[in-house]
Amino acid sequence: MKKLLFLLLILPLTGGLLAQDIPPKDWQIETALMAVPSDYREGAAVYGYDASGAFTKLREGTNDYIALADDPTRENFSTAAYHKDLDPFMARGRELKAEGKSGDEIFEIREAEVRAGTLALPDKTTLCVFTGKVNPQTREIEDPYVRYVFYMPFATGESTGLPTTPTPPGHAWLMNPGTHRAHIMITPPKEN
C-alpha cells in the first residue's frame, strides 16, 4: 500500500515517468537521427528528454534540420525530423499540448494563428517520420520505416492535382486540403 501511495504521489511530479524510463541521451540522439535524410544527419539539432522527462535540446545543430527523439510516454517508437523553418509551428503545438489542449483544439488554434499571421508557417517544407520496434534486449530498431510529409499550407486537390483521399502505398495524396496543415503524404510500401 505504501509503494502504491508513493507511485501515485511521484508520477505527477515526474510527468508519469521515472528516470529509468528515459533512454540514455546518446541513444535518443542516435535514434532521432534515423528520421533525418542522410545528407543532413551530421549537423542536425536534436530534441529529446532529460532524466526527469522534460523536453529539452540534446544536441545543438549546424544545419537546417531538427530531429525529435522518441517520446518515452508513448507506446510505439517514432522519431521525426523537419526543416528548422517548421520549428515555431511544431513548438506551438507542443506548447498547446502541454496546456492540455486536444488534437482538435490544437488544429483550430494553429489554423487561426496561421491565418492571422501570428504563427509562422513556411509555404512549403518537409517532415520525415521514422518508426520501428525497439528490440528490448539489444535496443536496436527493428522493422524500420520512413514516411514523408510535404507541408503546403492551404493547398487543395485542385491546386496540386493530387487526390485528397488515401491512396495505395507509394502514391502521393493531399491530407487536410485547404487548411494551414495541408500536406502531401508519401507512404512507401512496407517490405514483407
pLDDT of res. 178: 97
Residue 167 forms part of a structural domain: yes
13-17, 67-71, 146-150: least confidently modelled range: 13-17
Query: Cα–Cα distance between 92 and 39 in angstroms, integer?
Result: 27
Residue 66 forms part of a structural domain: yes
Residue type, 87: D
pLDDT of res. 190: 83
pLDDT of res. 170: 83
20-29, 32-41, 114-123: least confidently modelled range: 20-29
State yes or no: pLDDT of 59 exceeds 80.
yes
Residue 161 forms part of a structural domain: yes
Query: Cα–Cα distance between 114 and 131 in angstroms, integer?
Result: 29
**pTM of the predicted structure, to 2 decimals:** 0.83
Radius of gyration of the chain (CA): 18
Residue 170 forms part of a structural domain: yes
* DSSP H/E element including 129: strand 125-134
Boundaries of domain holding 162 = 22-82+122-186
Residues, the chain:
192
pLDDT of res. 21: 83
Residue 191 forms part of a structural domain: no
Percent of the chain with pLDDT over 90: 82
Query: Cα–Cα distance between 146 and 169 in angstroms, integer?
Result: 12
Task: Say if CB 52 and CB 99 are below 8 A apart.
Answer: no
- The DSSP 8-state label assigned to residue 21 in this structure reads G
Q: How confident is the model at residue 8 (pLDDT cuts 50, 70, 90)?
A: very low
Residue 34 forms part of a structural domain: yes
Residue 177 forms part of a structural domain: yes
At 31, give phi and psi (nearest 5°).
Answer: -75, -30
pLDDT of res. 167: 83
Helix axes 87-98, 103-116, angle to 10 degrees: 140
CA distances from 77 to 106, 117, 145, 185 (A): 23, 34, 11, 20
Q: Kindly report the number of other CB atoms within 10 A of residue 150's CB atom.
A: 17
In 8-72, DSSP assigns E strands to: 45-49, 55-59, 65-68
Q: What is the bridge-based pairing of β-strands 65-68 and 45-49?
A: parallel
In 25-76, DSSP assigns E strands to: 45-49, 55-59, 65-68
What average pLDDT does range 103-117 have in this prediction? 97
pLDDT of res. 70: 97
Residue 141 forms part of a structural domain: yes
State yes or no: pLDDT of 9 exceeds 80.
no
Structural domain count of the chain: 1
pLDDT of res. 12: 42
Write out pLDDT tens, residues 129-168.
Answer: 999 999 999 999 999 999 999 999 999 999 999 999 988 8
User: Could you tell me which residues are beta bridge partners of residue 55?
Assistant: 49
What average pLDDT does range 167-183 have in this prediction? 92
What average pLDDT does range 50-60 have in this prediction? 95
Q: Kindly report the number of other CB atoms within 10 A of residue 32's CB atom.
A: 26
pLDDT of res. 30: 97
pLDDT of res. 20: 55
